[in-house]
Structure 1
């Protein structure tokens, strides 16, 4: 298992154990399982420690909710029927998966195991230790590694735009599970997708280095997806970074991709049927008003948008 995947897994397991132990339904077996997992690997104990530190600083309110058996959100988080319905929704493990999913939609718990992160619907700019500027898209998280010889950001989820500080002797690297994107000072965007990573050069040129494929140089405005052993041909993709201004620009993109982008700005689930997901979409849609974006899609495509409370929205092909 790669370092990135192992780190992500440890953080997710720590969150899963914490939710179980604070649910009010934990058994001695659950507590023993958590202790054994923490002792099995120093990386596990580190993930647990980082989670506890993050909890003490960031989500005291959520922890209070989970310990209050009369609170409505707490009952939603630990209700067995809701667990069964949403099991594995966030890719976490065990019976805590649904609690992690709901809590993650309200306040992303995975951010607690990362150096920097953003919430649902939040875009945020950070100044990095070397003076570089980093912007994270909604529901994104990164780890940092900065030394005199190394400037590195590890993208764990979501998307980022980085403007490296000029004049620094060290190259600037953005790592993903599929490889890395390297810049000598040019701004770039990197997005982590389910099966690939996407890199876009926003200035001058950048290099894409898949784990086991030939490196690729991208000129200004060009972008390319890459996996462990492959990389696509460069294409004009500057619009892929339009989320910085709060807009989603689409040019013949599958509706499934559009829904995934809008989903980062909605607290509830946004699901698209297989038939609807392949419909081609072009247009400009506001990320900060996803209801308006969905209404625009419904008026321009042969689809229906059905809302079942704020927690679930389904998109399907309109009946003939």
Structure 2
């Protein structure tokens, strides 16, 4: 069963009504997880929350903590962004007279100095480009840490998350220039992983790959880890899935507009338990 998804009050209390220290709260969370680690990042967030409240007061602290807990949209790379989106937010922008880019939630880009909008760097997240060349912008170029993609026409998508860089071509070939290795051409209806193990090309279904534009996450013969990765930018809190649960094979259609329902769906279909913990953390554990 899914526990009550409502967030607790800011002041956690013990059985005698006294407020618990942050270390006591952490011990309680560890016990709830059955000895599983919450991870260093989450623990730092908890301690930062306490420091903010002590230094700024409850009202100011709560405002700052909300930003700290949102995760991907406040990564260090995001601080350099010219345009960024937050959880559940998409944004479309013009790159030229006819070309556009659509940023998925928790994405960040920065434009090249003096290069206009037709050349930019994807710092984090996902961008879908509809390239329609004109005299002023004959191509669109997207740079990432793993390499650069250039398109004269056609639609393509670039994803940069969790140490992976994936490039997907729709209806025209792309010029891909990896940071390591020779330039290559990615055929239409194919995707390539530039990280972490080098180029790996495969055929794709463009409709499935871009289903997020319609508020859906469609996974075919994937894993629960991939499902959680797809849901995370749309969830206000932080999702934590254990390695064992992440390896469970998964297929399905999940709503990105109603992530609470999607999390319940995981528990109904797969052998996992979903628990809602303090500070907006949701844990997904494999059933024994």
Please confirm whether the aligned pair reaches a TM-score higher than 0.5, indicating the same fold.
yes
1:116-142: CA deviations, max 9, x gaps?
110111111111255421100101000
Paired position in structure 2 for 1:57:
none
Which residue matches 1:270? Answer: 239
Return closer, same or farther for 1:75/1:118 CA change in 2, 3 Å cut-off.
closer
After superposition, give the CA deviation of every residue in 1:209-253 in whole Å (9 maximum; x if it has no partner): 211223332233211111387200232242222111111110111
Query: Distance in 1 between the 2:72 and 2:256 partners?
Result: 18
Distance 1:109 1:191, change over 3 A: closer
Note the 1:1-320 alignment, pairs <5 A.
69-72=56-59, 74=61, 77=64, 101-102=68-69, 104-105=70-71, 108=74, 111-129=78-96, 131-145=98-112, 151-168=118-135, 170-227=138-195, 230-238=198-206, 239-309=208-278, 311-319=280-288
RMSD (Å), alpha carbons: 3.0
In the comparison of the two structures, how many residue pairs are matched?
234
- Check the 8 A contact 2:223/2:251 in 1, yes or no: no
Stretches of structure 2 that go unaligned for 5 or more consecutive residues are: 1-51
User: In the TM superposition, what is the alpha-carbon distance from 1:106 to its structure 2 partner?
Assistant: 10
* Counterparts in 2 of 1:125 and 1:270: CA distance versus 1, 3 Å: same
Q: Which whole-Å CA distance do the structure 2 matches of 1:248 and 1:223 have between them?
A: 17
3-state SS of 1:259 partner: helix
Q: TM-score, normalised by structure 1?
A: 0.65
Match in the other structure for 2:17: none
Secondary structure at 2:154's aligned position in 1? coil
Change (3 A) 1:308 1:241: same
Q: 1:257 Cα shift?
A: 1.8
Q: How many Å apart are 1:189 and its aligned residue?
A: 0.5
Contact 2:98/2:133, CA 8 A, preserved across alignment: no
In 1, Cα distance between the equivalents of 2:212 and 2:120? 20
TM-score (structure 2 length as normaliser): 0.72
The answer to whether the 8 A contact 2:105-2:125 is kept is yes
**Distance (Å, rounded) in 1 between the aligned partners of 2:110 and 2:53:** 27
* Contact 1:124/1:136 (<8 A) preserved: yes
- 8 Å contact 1:199–1:223 — kept in the other structure? yes
Distance 1:106 1:71 in 2: 24
Contact 1:179 1:228 (C-alpha < 8 Å) held by counterparts: no
User: Per the alignment, in what secondary structure is the counterpart of residue 229 of structure 2?
Assistant: helix
Structure 1, unaligned runs of 5 or more: 1-64, 79-98
- C-alpha separation between the residues in 2 aligned to 1:256 and 1:277? 4
